[in-house]
């Protein structure tokens, strides 16, 4: 019987297991082993979140109202809060899976998200916008959750809709990296992305024009980032 097993059977686990020590060389080796060439494509995220928070904190007394007459015919449905709130998980989980499968596809995903995010920020500054579609007292099973969402996320800076842009970006990234390996997963991501885009108008977070703006911006960015290229170029991450 080994010494380790004898100590464990005797109940002396403190002696059996040496204390954990975190040494600087181990930390340095771990940091050196991280894929920094790929992770640097995420550096835009903190800066964007700060800019978004600052813009949301600025009260807008005069803005371009993006609602259209057709928006009045779209009913409010609190059930769509569920797919709407899954947007955050969709973006993060898609990024993690694509990162582990195809680093070049991950870089394209981050390029798409950063370009569309910063274009949106510039547009919000140049052309302040908002919508006036929110019900005063949201009803339905998820009415309270929608009301809480209204309190956290203002009705300004809505065009183009980043929920639409992010959903399209996640669907593109999933298909880019996983279409040949896991087609059912890609189809599920696309279906959820479509539901999220629909949810933006069903819980009155965005107008139809906001959704169209997000779709156009997504198409413009995808046309440049996901351009046709040879397999060698795509594997190297040139495009």
Domain count, the chain: 2
Q: What are 200-217's pLDDT values in tens digits?
A: 999 999 999 999 999 999
pLDDT at 22: 53
Q: What are 100-149's pLDDT values in tens digits?
A: 999 999 999 999 999 999 999 999 999 999 999 999 989 999 999 999 99
Q: What are 26-36's pLDDT values in tens digits?
A: 555 544 555 66
pLDDT at 61: 83
Report residue 134 as tokens: 């929110």
Name the residue range of residue 9's domain.
Answer: 1-33
Q: What are 145-175's pLDDT values in tens digits?
A: 999 999 999 999 999 999 999 999 999 999 9
Same structural domain, 196 and 146: yes
Q: What is the dihedral of CA 69, 72, 77, 82, to 10 degrees?
A: 30
Which residue, among 92, 98, 54, 90, has the nearest Cα to 190 in the 3D structure?
90
CA dist 145 to 28, 72, 82, 150, Å? 44, 22, 10, 9
Cα distance between residue 140 and residue 154, in whole Å: 21
pTM exceeds 0.85 for this model = no
Same structural domain, 152 and 225: yes
Report residue 168 as tokens: 């399209």
**Terminus-to-terminus CA distance in the chain, angstroms?**
59
Same structural domain, 179 and 87: yes
Same structural domain, 104 and 17: no
Same structural domain, 172 and 136: yes
């Amino acid at each position: 019987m080994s010494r380790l097993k004898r100590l464990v059977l005797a109940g002396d686990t403190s002696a059996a297991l040496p204390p954990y020590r975190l040494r600087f060389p181990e930390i340095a080796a771990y940091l050196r082993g991280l894929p920094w060439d790929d992770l640097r494509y995420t550096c835009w995220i903190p800066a964007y979140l700060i800019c978004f928070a600052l813009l949301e904190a600025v009260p807008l007394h005069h803005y371009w109202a993006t609602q259209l007459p057709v928006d009045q015919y779209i009913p409010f449905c609190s059930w769509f809060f569920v797919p709407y709130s899954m947007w955050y998980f969709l973006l993060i989980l898609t990024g993690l899976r694509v990162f582990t499968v195809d680093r070049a596809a991950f870089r394209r995903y981050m390029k798409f998200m950063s370009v569309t995010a910063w274009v949106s920020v510039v547009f919000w500054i140049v052309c302040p916008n908002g919508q006036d579609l929110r019900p005063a007292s949201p009803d339905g099973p998820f009415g309270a959750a929608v009301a809480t969402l209204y309190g956290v996320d203002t009705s300004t800076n809505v065009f183009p809709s980043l929920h639409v842009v992010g959903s399209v970006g996640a669907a593109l990234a999933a298909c880019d990296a996983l279409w040949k390996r896991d087609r059912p997963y890609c189809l599920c991501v696309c279906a959820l992305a479509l539901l999220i885009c629909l949810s933006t108008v069903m819980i009155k977070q965005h107008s139809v024009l906001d959704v169209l703006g997000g779709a156009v911006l997504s198409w413009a960015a995808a046309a440049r980032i996901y351009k046709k290229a040879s397999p060698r170029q795509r594997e190297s991450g040139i495009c």
